[in-house]
Amino acid sequence: VVRRRLLQRYEHQPFISCLAGFYSCRWRRYQRERTEPGKCCCNMVNELKVSTDLDFSFCFSLVFLYTWGEGKNDYNGFDWYNYGSLGFWFLWSLVILIVAAVLFAYISFLLVLAMCLLAEGQQLYLHWSHKIGTFLVLLFSISSLFALSILWRDHRKTVRLSFQVTAPYLHIGAIAIMVLLAWPVALHAIRADKKVTQVIIVGPYLAILLFLFLIPLGMYSPCIREMGTLGPKPALIGHRGAPMLAPENTEMSFLKTIEHGGDGLETDVAISYDGVPFLMHDDTLRRTTNIQEVYPNDTDKAASFFSWDDLQKLNAGTWFLKNKPFVGMGSLSKADQNQAMNQSICTLSSFLRLANSHNKLVIFDLYRPPEKHPYRNLWIRQILDVILKESKIKRHLVLWLHNGVRSFVQSVAPGFQHTMGRKAPIEDLLKHNIVKLNLVYTDMSSEDIRKYAEANITTNFYVVNEPWLYSLAWCSGAHSVTTNAVHLLKDLSQPLFLMTPQQYNIMWILTDLTSAFLISLIFAL
């Protein structure tokens, strides 16, 4: 018996040595000091502080990883903002996501090591290098969350929206973590010397557990609904075409949207120096053309100050192959690469004729020419001439968004579907013959959508790229969305996370009962 026990202890030593080595960099067998569960595992105030920092680092790094991960819908906008500030294109959003994931995995690994050492009755001595690492993770997470709250305030709305579809599953994950924590909590509580110590250990744990058990009572998700109450799938409007498959605002991009079954096309319209409306989102031509090669001295010149002849000399596709502006774009076929390399700037007239020939809706942002531009005060007439005379597009296909001269447009071009870019009282919208709202997705509200729908005013949300966000728009009753990912969203046959209230109640009750049984069993043992 003695021999067997000695053998078991000997075989167990390498495991503890490995744990202590990774956590404390103490690899020798007899460097460790043992403590009984329930007693102080850190004999120094400094070690208690380190353990607290480790816990806070885990929490903040988890919050930032979730926050940034759910913001994937806006990664392109974030990278575009950095391009405007730094002058060169790089996928900063992907780098931040990878860093956040690595740091969270690092802190999680340290926490697992700490829990295993505690279970083995070992005292915790975090190595100084890990102390620095923990502090850096905490600093990075807090500073990143602070920067997001200041520089990207709408991101908080994105996270709140994500809770409407992920909350039921986050609830299950939180309960699972509490079940895993039950074992070390029970071990230390049962072996504690004093009742006060037991209360200090078990009390907060049970309070958090009770809160998690009851939190579904206040949970809301439009995707938890009765069978047969889900509305039709929102129509898909290609944002500058299909910019994940082809260079934005080019003929190829719009053809890709049409090829993948998009219901409409969105673009941006500027006017050249000689009065030709053309498609361009940015103020300058640096990001989406090869102007550095053709006109190297005019890279900062406003796009509207170039004549149409000058604009035709630029290539509008090579940048797309070089920069790959979207995370997870995938590779293009050889034929698509060759086609993208030969794209040029598109005119409004060509865009409208293409949409009309395929019976697609069009919506566009209009950019007034800058001061000293010869068409600064004639730009609306130029655009209307192209719409009504050159392209002769069916008027009901035009979603007129510009609000400045709406009364004039309604008088000279009846038949457009007039669209407002902000929420307003229903009486005001009906007074101005508004039939559609074009809203940023962070303004999504199932209650507002229903209220406007009752007045025969439909809603379109932009820019919706992620399946979870499209699912939320679908469940909320949105009529259409503007998206960069027509080719991905078209394949959704039903919203993600869709379930009936009965299914959710069963999931909730089973989760709570199962976890309560497992936790009770752990404490009993």
Verify that 263 and 362 share a domain, yes or no.
yes
Helix (H) or strand (E) holding 339: helix 334-341
- Residue 345: which domain range? 236-402+468-491
* pLDDT tens by residue, 11-57: 456 777 787 888 887 766 544 455 554 455 554 455 556 667 888 89
Verify that 265 and 396 share a domain, yes or no.
yes
Verify that 254 and 146 share a domain, yes or no.
no
Task: Tell me how crowded residue 455 is: count the other CB atoms within 10 A of its CB.
Answer: 12
C-beta of residue 35 within 8 angstroms of C-beta of residue 123: yes
3-class DSSP state for residue 100? Answer: helix
Question: What per-residue confidence (pLDDT) applies to 2?
Answer: 47
What does the alpha-carbon distance between residue 173 and residue 263 come to, in Å, rounded to a whole number? 38
Residue 487 domain flag:
yes
Residue 432 domain flag:
no
Instruction: Say which residues have a Cβ less than 8 Å from residue 480's Cβ, sequence separation at least 6.
Output: 234, 235, 236, 237, 263, 264, 458, 459, 460, 461
Residue 70 domain flag:
yes
C-beta of residue 304 within 8 angstroms of C-beta of residue 272: yes
Verify that 135 and 260 share a domain, yes or no.
no
Give the chain's domain count.
2
Verify that 241 and 370 share a domain, yes or no.
yes
**Last-in-domain residue among 151, 179, 198:** 151
Question: What per-residue confidence (pLDDT) applies to 183?
Answer: 80
What does the alpha-carbon distance between residue 146 and residue 82 come to, in Å, rounded to a whole number? 18
378-398 as b/e: b if 16+ CB within 10 A: ebbebbbebbeeebebeeebb
Residue 225 domain flag:
no
CA distances from 180 to 101, 177, 211 (A): 21, 5, 17
Verify that 146 and 247 share a domain, yes or no.
no
Verify that 15 and 110 share a domain, yes or no.
yes
Residues (pLDDT < 50) of the chain are 2, 6-11, 30-32, 37-38, 43-44
C-beta of residue 473 within 8 angstroms of C-beta of residue 456: no
142-166 as b/e: b if 16+ CB within 10 A: bebbeebeeeeeebeebbebbebbb
Verify that 368 and 245 share a domain, yes or no.
yes
C-beta of residue 349 within 8 angstroms of C-beta of residue 393: no
DSSP state of 485: -
Verify that 263 and 376 share a domain, yes or no.
yes
**Last-in-domain residue among 90, 122, 151:** 151
Residue 424 domain flag:
no
Residue 407 domain flag:
no
Q: What is the CATH number of the domain that holds 361?
A: 3.20.20.190
Instruction: Say which residues have a Cβ less than 8 Å from residue 155's Cβ, sequence separation at least 6.
Output: 67, 71, 74, 148, 149
What does the alpha-carbon distance between residue 43 and residue 477 come to, in Å, rounded to a whole number? 59
Verify that 146 and 276 share a domain, yes or no.
no
Verify that 240 and 112 share a domain, yes or no.
no
C-beta of residue 29 within 8 angstroms of C-beta of residue 131: no
Q: Which pTM was predicted?
A: 0.88
Instruction: Say which residues have a Cβ less than 8 Å from residue 209's Cβ, sequence separation at least 6.
Output: 178, 519
Verify that 136 and 264 share a domain, yes or no.
no
Residue 458 domain flag:
no
Residue 483 domain flag:
yes
Give the total residue count for the chain: 525
